[in-house]
Amino acid sequence: MFALFRLNYHNQYYAAFPDAEQLKQIKKLWLESLADYPVEQILKGAKHAIEHSEYLP
């Protein structure tokens, strides 16, 4: 999911996650928040966000 966001929201992605430590913390937060959802549903949601929003979720 983060790879999709990086490719599609390049400048916003690097502005939001400027260093590796912060990105690690954000990924942990998202992992904990989305743990109850199947991977397929998470990826479908990420793709939907990419297709329908010009802003990084």
- What range defines the domain where residue 37 resides? 2-52
CA distance linking residue 57 with residue 53, whole number of Å? 8
Residue 22 lies in a domain: yes
In a domain, 57, yes or no: no
Residues 6+ apart with CB under 8 A from 56: 5, 9, 12, 13, 16
Q: What is the mean pLDDT of each run of 10 residues along the chain (57 residues)?
A: 95 95 96 97 97 95
Domains in the chain, number: 1
In a domain, 7, yes or no: yes
- CB contact burial 17-47 (16+ within 10 A = b; e otherwise): beeeeebeeeeeeeeeeeeeeeeeeeeeebe
What is the predicted pLDDT for the residue at 37? Answer: 98
| Cα 12–Cα 35–Cα 14 angle in degrees, nearest 5 | 15
Q: What's the pTM value of the predicted model, to 2 decimals?
A: 0.84
